[in-house]
Structure 1
Amino acid sequence: MKTLAKKRIFGFTLIELMIVVALVAILLAIAYPSYIKYVRKSNRGEAQQLLMNWSINQEIWRSNNPLYAGTGDLPAPTADHYDFAPSNLSATTYTLTATAKVGDDQNNDKSRDNLTDCDVLTLNQSGVKGPAACWE
């Protein structure tokens, strides 16, 4: 006589899978905004570094010429998320500006206190950085 033995099937139930999916969704909801903020801050840091290097190059240019350099003499840096432009060029002054590219997520960048927009960064011949909260 044959005995019908129940075979146990190993695997996950639908409920167990749904619990895992819910836990992953909760973790993503917490982690993703922090990740986006980190990416924006990293892109801002790159723009700040490029502005400072450009400023050094302006000072080197000015030590050999009567005026600070325009973009024809000293090309503006290039970056994926920012456009760079000089202004107020004279024998004694300049302002270098990095502006987040139109349509780029970098336009939503905020300072650490979440009060100051960091989509436009400036640096002048005296080393004054603006907005100050974005350079911390």
Structure 2
Amino acid sequence: MNRLARKRILGFTVIELMIVLVIVAILLALAYPSYIQYVRKGKRGEAQQLLMNWSINQEIFRSNNPQYATTAQLPVPTNDNYTFTLPARSATAYTLQAAATGDQVNDEARDGTSCTPLTLDQNGVKLPAVCWE
């Protein structure tokens, strides 16, 4: 027998490689949307934390002054994924708001509710409520 005829060629066939690529593509197609959802939820959590800290600072300011702070008196939080504003403020009330920017505008709660803008007022009312769970 010929020496070359007895030697077995090792390796993968093109068909086997294509099957593996198809399986990997299917797994990625299923996993990627969930990954993006968790990334957005994490960024939303950062914005919520900044709103809560801003609210605490408003209450500290109010305990020493006759009214809540303006944006000139109390620095506005900054974040790459949200724009923070103080759309309503008086001596006895305020509303803090975080509006999503960039890809974060597509952030949704499990029930499909849009999670932008996030708001928090002096009574601790958080809207949309489902996005704060």
- Aligned residue number for residue 122 of structure 2: 125
Q: Give me the whole-angstrom Cα distance separating, in 2, the residues matched to 1:80 and 1:25.
A: 31
Letter in 2 for 1:58: Q
- Aligned residue number for residue 26 of structure 2: 26
The yes-or-no answer on 1:108 pairing with 2:106 is: yes
User: Normalised by the size of structure 2, how large is the TM-score?
Assistant: 0.95
**1:61-76 maps to which residues of 2 (within 5 A)?**
61-76=61-76
Aligned-residue identity in percent:
67
The yes-or-no answer on 1:97 pairing with 2:94 is: no
Higher helix share: 2
| Unaligned 5+ runs, structure 1 | none
| Unaligned 5+ runs, structure 2 | none
Report SS of the residue matched to 1:8: coil
User: Normalised by the size of structure 1, how large is the TM-score?
Assistant: 0.93
Report SS of the residue matched to 2:89: coil
Letter in 1 for 2:62: R
Q: Give me the whole-angstrom Cα distance separating, in 2, the residues matched to 1:63 and 1:107.
A: 35
Q: Give me the whole-angstrom Cα distance separating, in 1, the residues matched to 2:105 and 2:87.
A: 21
Post-superposition Cα deviations, 1:11-54, rounded to whole Å, max 9, x if no partner, equal 11101100100000010011000000001111111101110010
Post-superposition Cα deviations, 1:69-122, rounded to whole Å, max 9, x if no partner, equal 111111111111001011221110000000012xx11111111112x1102100
Q: Give me the whole-angstrom Cα distance separating, in 1, the residues matched to 2:95 and 2:55.
A: 9
